[in-house]
Structure 1
Amino acid sequence: MNCKLCLVKPADKKGSHIVPAFILKTLFERNKEFVVSIGSEAVENHIGRELTPEQIEDYMGRELTDEEIDQNYIPFIEDNIFCSDCEKKLGHLESMYADKIHKHLSKKECDKDEIFTFNNDLGLISLFWYSVILRFSLATHNKFKLKDKEHRAIRNYLNNNLKENIPELKIHVEKNINLNCPYPLGIFFNSNAIKRLSSNSVLEIPKYRNPYFLLFNEYIIILYNKASQVNGMKHSFFDLEKSFDPLRNINYNNNEECNICIIRNDVWEGIKTNIFELFAKFKHQEFIDMFRFVAEYSNLAFTKANIVHFVNRILYEDSHIADRYDRTRVLTILAEELNQLPKISR
């Protein structure tokens, strides 16, 4: 299989980071993490390799099964996506962004709303975030996928602008693409390094396609297909509007500067609450749809009360939080509920 960036060299690199490690640094300690993936059928737990059995049991409420150990993986690392040369180029870009941009943002206590303006860095910042978004879309264990046309455009842009070494990349982003932002970006930040108010997440918001709405731990990224679409339709951004008018802070091609908006702590917590509530609604609807589909396929008579009882058992019946949405548990409850329903008489 060839590299998914250059499309030429063999994808021989092991352990590629889907999301750069420095972005995930305040989310968990490397190899000692509990990562939760929200999938289409269930919520999956992923356990860091260096956690002790006691730490795992404290989180899970039980020991890992042999099957869970065999299937365990951390969803932000994958093998054989890129060639070693492209991986190095991405690494140079990460290093520049981390040193020049991220370390300055991380010093903020985020006790007020403010706009951090970076002059002459639009090329670097946009190139970096395109690289993160492309990798996130490429991830095997990830629901988020760019549309084919967008994928090709961003891949080509990256392939044409990444460089072999940091000095060459530095000159390129400062002299050649310093004002480039071909795919409009909104970048919003709240530091989790200082106060660690609560845990963050890495996820995309389903059904947001233009713009895409992505949460990468401390960052919210809004990505548009093209500039003409920024003001083409009104969107809700989960109360981000309490701090900023998001559309006024979208970075475009040929902007004189790049704005990264610092979101104050209370607004950030509200945004996350709204996002998680939306995911809860999506998950509940998946359970409802599952129940309806199987019951109707099996020619069973059911009422709204049967569906409510099924969902409530999943949500509230005694179960450790780590196993609440386990696929086997959900299917077991479904079978038990369906077995109590009568057949529809013909």
Structure 2
Amino acid sequence: MKCPLCTIREADKKNTHYFTDKIIRSCLNLDGGNERETGFYFDLSNDSAFVEFNFQRETSIKKLEETLGREATEEEIEQAKKIPFSVDYIFCTQCEATFTEIEDGFIDNILPKLRGAEISENEELDFKEIRIIRLFFFIQIWRTAVCEQAFKLSPEVFEKLRLIILNHAKVSDEELKEFPLSITYLETLGGEKEYTSNFVGFTSDRKPNLAILNDFVIQFYESIDDVKFFDFYDLNNAQFKKFANYNEEEFKVRIMHNVERKAFLKEMIRKEKVKHTLSFYRNSFRELWFRMFGVNPPTLITEQYIYFICNQEDDVLSHTRENIIKLTQEFMMKKLQ
């Protein structure tokens, strides 16, 4: 296939990270360090009611099993052969060099002013390096749209971003600043290991297009008309328009401090995953009860079941499919005695 960036050369490059590896690696690794492929991560999508645990090829199996409280399954071991947020033979070697040039500019010039810097007193930071910042976050958004079917851009915007990235050395300021772009930096204190409490992923059902890359949250708008308040677990506040950079003189980055970051991440995982998981359990239990007795279970029985399998809300996310089946059997046996 042809590389989608240049549309000319064959896609010959293996292991292209569509989320920049140097940004997300500390989030995915066991100790927050930079060693490759030594971590595990969680699928927070709503396709399944069960948290899917994925781990990388060099992950300590002992550490993994301590975290999961069980042995790794064959499916998980197979999944470990894959590299997260990475694709093979989608882009060409020359275009990969373009990505690397943009990434290196951001990592060398912008990242040190945020990660590990003294920013606890700042609510925002203003940057003159607009080109570096915009290009870096554009490649995250555009590559994700290429590599993830669920992450969509309109064809017109997709093509404009492609041309901006391809011609990044000579693209005009007007073209570069056309799309409103909001970046929140999640201050992460407590040492390298604390980065593992952050997330990596994206939403596929919201406006704006949103992606979380460890300690960065990207909100990309396709037009100025799309800049409206976006309620995403207190990520945004009353000043949201101030941080939707558009035809800006300096690029504003909002700082979400460490305490706020923890609250934001906790609320996100609780509402996004727990809500859907509990709904799934309730519906599955009702179906089971109906098949056995021909009537829907009383609400009291359903809630007793939910309490039995997870008497604390956080416990919802610790269950495997096999564990839920076992607990459900135990509950039904108690009711049939």
What amino acid is the match of 1:201?
F
Unaligned 5+ runs, structure 2:
none
Number of residue pairs matched?
A: 322
1:251 corresponds to: 245
Q: Is 1:221 aligned to 2:229, yes or no?
A: no
| Partner SS, residue 64 of structure 1 | coil
1:130 corresponds to: 138
Q: Is 1:156 aligned to 2:162, yes or no?
A: no
Residues 1:161 and 1:259: Cα distance change in structure 2 (over 3 Å):
same
Say which of 182, 197, 201 aligns to 2:199.
201
The answer to whether the Cα contact below 8 Å between 1:186 and 1:250 also exists between their aligned partners in 2 is yes
2:277 corresponds to: 283
Cα offset, 1:184, TM superposition: 1.1
What amino acid is the match of 1:181?
K
Q: Is 1:181 aligned to 2:177, yes or no?
A: yes
Q: How does 1:1-346 map to 2 (within 5 A)?
A: 1-27=1-27, 28=29, 29=33, 30-39=36-45, 40-41=47-48, 42-72=50-80, 73-119=82-128, 121-140=129-148, 144-147=150-153, 149=154, 152-163=155-166, 169=168, 171-172=169-170, 176-177=172-173, 180-192=176-188, 195=191, 197=194, 199-205=197-203, 207=205, 209-231=206-228, 234-241=229-236, 245-252=239-246, 254-279=247-272, 280-292=274-286, 300-316=295-311, 324-330=318-324
Distance 1:84 1:295 in 2: 57
| Partner SS, residue 172 of structure 1 | coil
Distance 2:126 2:260 in 1: 21
Distance 1:105 1:227 in 2: 27
Distance 1:110 1:8 in 2: 44
Task: Map Cα deviations across residues 170-193 of structure 1 (whole Å, 9 max, x no partner).
Answer: x436xx237722221111102437
The answer to whether the Cα contact below 8 Å between 1:37 and 1:45 also exists between their aligned partners in 2 is yes
Distance 1:310 1:135 in 2: 44
TM-score normalised to the size of structure 2?
0.79
The answer to whether the Cα contact below 8 Å between 2:106 and 2:136 also exists between their aligned partners in 1 is yes
What amino acid is the match of 1:10?
E
Task: Map Cα deviations across residues 159-211 of structure 1 (whole Å, 9 max, x no partner).
Answer: 31335xxxx85x436xx23772222111110243764556111133564x222
| Partner SS, residue 236 of structure 1 | coil
The answer to whether the Cα contact below 8 Å between 2:277 and 2:316 also exists between their aligned partners in 1 is no
| Partner SS, residue 89 of structure 2 | coil
Cα offset, 1:281, TM superposition: 1.7
| Partner SS, residue 251 of structure 1 | coil
Residues 1:127 and 1:57: Cα distance change in structure 2 (over 3 Å):
same
**Identical counterparts, % of pairs:** 24
Distance 1:332 1:6 in 2: 53
Residues 1:332 and 1:92: Cα distance change in structure 2 (over 3 Å):
farther
RMSD over aligned Cα atoms: 3.5
Cα offset, 1:266, TM superposition: 1.8
Cα offset, 1:313, TM superposition: 4.6
Residues 1:112 and 1:297: Cα distance change in structure 2 (over 3 Å):
farther
Unaligned 5+ runs, structure 1:
none
Cα offset, 1:99, TM superposition: 1.5
| Partner SS, residue 100 of structure 2 | helix
What amino acid is the match of 2:200?
V
